[in-house]
Protein backbone atom coordinates (compact mmCIF):
# COMPACT_ATOMS: atom_id res chain seq x y z
CA UNK A 1 0.00 0.00 0.00
CA UNK A 2 2.92 2.33 0.68
CA UNK A 3 4.05 1.86 -2.95
CA UNK A 4 0.66 3.05 -4.24
CA UNK A 5 0.83 6.14 -2.04
CA UNK A 6 4.35 6.91 -3.26
CA UNK A 7 3.30 6.58 -6.91
CA UNK A 8 0.22 8.75 -6.36
CA UNK A 9 2.29 11.43 -4.60
CA UNK A 10 4.73 11.50 -7.53
CA UNK A 11 1.87 11.83 -10.04
CA UNK A 12 0.19 14.64 -8.08
CA UNK A 13 3.55 16.41 -7.68
CA UNK A 14 4.24 16.18 -11.41
CA UNK A 15 0.82 17.59 -12.34
CA UNK A 16 1.17 20.40 -9.77
CA UNK A 17 4.61 21.30 -11.16
CA UNK A 18 3.29 21.42 -14.72
CA UNK A 19 0.42 23.68 -13.62
CA UNK A 20 2.77 26.10 -11.87
CA UNK A 21 5.05 26.32 -14.89
CA UNK A 22 2.12 26.85 -17.25
CA UNK A 23 0.21 29.59 -15.37
CA UNK A 24 1.55 32.40 -17.60
CA UNK A 25 0.56 30.50 -20.75
CA UNK A 26 -3.20 30.29 -20.33
CA UNK A 27 -4.13 32.93 -22.90
CA UNK A 28 -4.07 30.94 -26.17
CA UNK A 29 -5.87 27.69 -25.38
CA UNK A 30 -8.41 26.23 -27.85
CA UNK A 31 -11.76 27.92 -27.34
CA UNK A 32 -15.13 26.51 -26.32
CA UNK A 33 -16.90 24.77 -29.19
CA UNK A 34 -13.68 23.68 -30.96
CA UNK A 35 -13.89 20.05 -32.10
CA UNK A 36 -10.94 17.68 -32.45
CA UNK A 37 -10.51 14.53 -34.56
CA UNK A 38 -7.33 12.52 -34.08
CA UNK A 39 -5.43 9.34 -34.76
CA UNK A 40 -2.60 7.96 -32.64
CA UNK A 41 -0.57 4.87 -32.01
CA UNK A 42 2.38 3.27 -30.35
CA UNK A 43 4.61 0.24 -30.74
CA UNK A 44 6.15 -1.53 -27.77
CA UNK A 45 9.25 -3.64 -28.32
CA UNK A 46 11.06 -5.49 -25.58
CA UNK A 47 14.67 -6.56 -26.05
CA UNK A 48 14.66 -9.34 -28.63
CA UNK A 49 10.86 -9.53 -28.99
CA UNK A 50 7.87 -7.67 -30.41
CA UNK A 51 5.48 -6.74 -27.58
CA UNK A 52 2.45 -4.87 -28.96
CA UNK A 53 1.10 -2.30 -31.39
CA UNK A 54 -1.91 -0.07 -30.74
CA UNK A 55 -3.84 2.29 -33.02
CA UNK A 56 -6.62 4.60 -31.82
CA UNK A 57 -9.03 7.11 -33.30
CA UNK A 58 -10.57 9.85 -31.18
CA UNK A 59 -13.05 12.71 -31.16
CA UNK A 60 -13.38 15.48 -28.62
CA UNK A 61 -14.86 18.90 -28.06
CA UNK A 62 -13.77 21.83 -25.91
CA UNK A 63 -16.63 22.50 -23.49
CA UNK A 64 -14.82 25.57 -22.11
CA UNK A 65 -11.68 27.37 -23.16
CA UNK A 66 -8.89 24.81 -22.65
CA UNK A 67 -11.09 22.00 -21.29
CA UNK A 68 -11.70 19.08 -23.65
CA UNK A 69 -13.84 15.97 -23.20
CA UNK A 70 -13.91 13.17 -25.69
CA UNK A 71 -13.70 9.52 -26.46
CA UNK A 72 -12.32 7.06 -28.89
CA UNK A 73 -11.87 3.52 -30.05
CA UNK A 74 -8.71 1.51 -30.50
CA UNK A 75 -7.43 -1.81 -31.73
CA UNK A 76 -4.19 -3.54 -30.81
CA UNK A 77 -2.13 -6.68 -31.10
CA UNK A 78 -0.68 -7.73 -27.76
CA UNK A 79 2.29 -10.06 -27.29
CA UNK A 80 2.34 -10.53 -31.05
CA UNK A 81 -0.79 -12.68 -31.05
CA UNK A 82 -3.83 -11.52 -29.03
CA UNK A 83 -6.02 -8.87 -30.65
CA UNK A 84 -7.66 -6.32 -28.38
CA UNK A 85 -10.43 -3.79 -28.94
CA UNK A 86 -11.02 -0.91 -26.55
CA UNK A 87 -13.18 2.14 -25.96
CA UNK A 88 -12.11 5.15 -23.91
CA UNK A 89 -13.46 8.36 -22.47
CA UNK A 90 -11.16 11.22 -21.53
CA UNK A 91 -11.00 14.73 -20.15
CA UNK A 92 -8.00 17.04 -20.44
CA UNK A 93 -6.84 20.58 -19.80
CA UNK A 94 -4.89 22.37 -22.55
CA UNK A 95 -2.51 25.33 -22.13
CA UNK A 96 -0.86 27.41 -24.84
CA UNK A 97 2.93 27.43 -24.74
CA UNK A 98 3.59 29.63 -27.81
CA UNK A 99 3.55 27.36 -30.87
CA UNK A 100 2.94 24.31 -28.70
CA UNK A 101 0.28 23.28 -26.21
CA UNK A 102 0.77 21.39 -22.98
CA UNK A 103 -2.10 19.15 -21.93
CA UNK A 104 -2.84 16.80 -19.07
CA UNK A 105 -5.86 14.78 -18.11
CA UNK A 106 -7.35 11.45 -17.19
CA UNK A 107 -8.86 8.63 -19.18
CA UNK A 108 -11.14 5.72 -18.46
CA UNK A 109 -10.47 2.77 -20.74
CA UNK A 110 -12.90 -0.04 -21.42
CA UNK A 111 -11.16 -2.96 -23.11
CA UNK A 112 -13.97 -5.02 -24.63
CA UNK A 113 -11.85 -7.91 -25.83
CA UNK A 114 -10.30 -10.25 -24.90
CA UNK A 115 -11.67 -9.39 -21.41
CA UNK A 116 -13.98 -6.57 -20.36
CA UNK A 117 -12.30 -4.55 -17.60
CA UNK A 118 -12.15 -0.83 -16.84
CA UNK A 119 -8.76 0.89 -16.52
CA UNK A 120 -7.83 4.34 -15.24
CA UNK A 121 -4.99 6.37 -16.70
CA UNK A 122 -3.25 9.73 -16.60
CA UNK A 123 -2.10 11.54 -19.75
CA UNK A 124 0.49 14.31 -20.04
CA UNK A 125 1.51 15.56 -23.47
CA UNK A 126 2.58 18.21 -25.93
CA UNK A 127 0.90 19.30 -29.15
CA UNK A 128 3.18 20.92 -31.74
CA UNK A 129 1.10 23.11 -34.03
CA UNK A 130 1.84 22.53 -37.75
CA UNK A 131 -0.72 25.15 -38.78
CA UNK A 132 -3.83 26.83 -37.44
CA UNK A 133 -5.83 23.60 -37.36
CA UNK A 134 -3.33 20.71 -37.24
CA UNK A 135 -0.98 19.44 -34.57
CA UNK A 136 1.38 16.55 -33.90
CA UNK A 137 0.93 15.17 -30.40
CA UNK A 138 3.25 13.25 -28.11
CA UNK A 139 1.56 11.85 -25.03
CA UNK A 140 2.98 10.05 -22.01
CA UNK A 141 0.20 7.69 -20.94
CA UNK A 142 0.39 6.06 -17.52
CA UNK A 143 -2.21 3.37 -16.87
CA UNK A 144 -2.81 2.98 -13.16
CA UNK A 145 -4.26 -0.52 -13.50
CA UNK A 146 -7.57 -2.24 -13.91
CA UNK A 147 -10.56 -2.03 -11.63
CA UNK A 148 -10.63 -5.83 -11.18
CA UNK A 149 -7.00 -6.22 -10.22
CA UNK A 150 -5.40 -2.94 -9.17
CA UNK A 151 -1.78 -3.56 -8.25
CA UNK A 152 0.94 -0.90 -8.08
CA UNK A 153 3.30 -3.38 -9.75
CA UNK A 154 1.11 -3.38 -12.87
CA UNK A 155 1.52 0.31 -13.72
CA UNK A 156 2.26 0.70 -17.42
CA UNK A 157 3.71 3.68 -19.21
CA UNK A 158 3.84 4.35 -22.93
CA UNK A 159 4.65 7.17 -25.33
CA UNK A 160 1.98 7.70 -27.96
CA UNK A 161 2.50 9.67 -31.19
CA UNK A 162 -0.54 11.19 -32.86
CA UNK A 163 -1.96 13.79 -35.22
CA UNK A 164 -5.01 15.94 -34.52
CA UNK A 165 -7.24 18.22 -36.59
CA UNK A 166 -9.06 21.08 -34.85
CA UNK A 167 -12.16 22.68 -36.39
Any idea what the CATH number is for the domain that residue 116 is in?
2.40.160.20
Residue 17 belongs to domain spanning: 2-166
Q: What is the pLDDT along the chain (167 residues), one digit of tens a residue?
A: 556 556 655 666 566 555 544 444 434 578 899 999 999 998 776 666 667 788 999 999 999 999 999 999 999 887 767 788 889 999 999 998 888 899 999 998 887 776 777 888 899 999 998 888 889 999 988 887 776 666 666 667 778 889 999 98
Q: What is the dihedral of CA 107, 112, 116, 117, to 10 degrees?
A: -10
Closest alpha carbon to 25 in 126, 131, 130 = 126
Report pLDDT for 49: 63
pTM over 0.75: no
Cα–Cα distance for residue pair 159/73, rounded to 1 Å: 18
Q: Domain count of the chain? A: 1
Q: Which residues contact 41 (CB under 8 A, 6 or more apart)?
A: 53, 54, 55, 56, 160, 161, 162
Cα–Cα distance for residue pair 123/36, rounded to 1 Å: 17
Alpha carbons within 13 angstroms on the beta-carbon side of residue 45 total 5
Cα–Cα distance for residue pair 137/129, rounded to 1 Å: 9
Closest alpha carbon to 146 in 123, 122, 119 = 119
Amino acid sequence: MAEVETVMKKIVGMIAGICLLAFPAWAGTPGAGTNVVGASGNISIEPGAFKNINLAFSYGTFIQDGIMVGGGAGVGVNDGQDTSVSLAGSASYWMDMGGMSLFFGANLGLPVSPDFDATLGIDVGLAHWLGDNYALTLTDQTDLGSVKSFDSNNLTNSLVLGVASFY
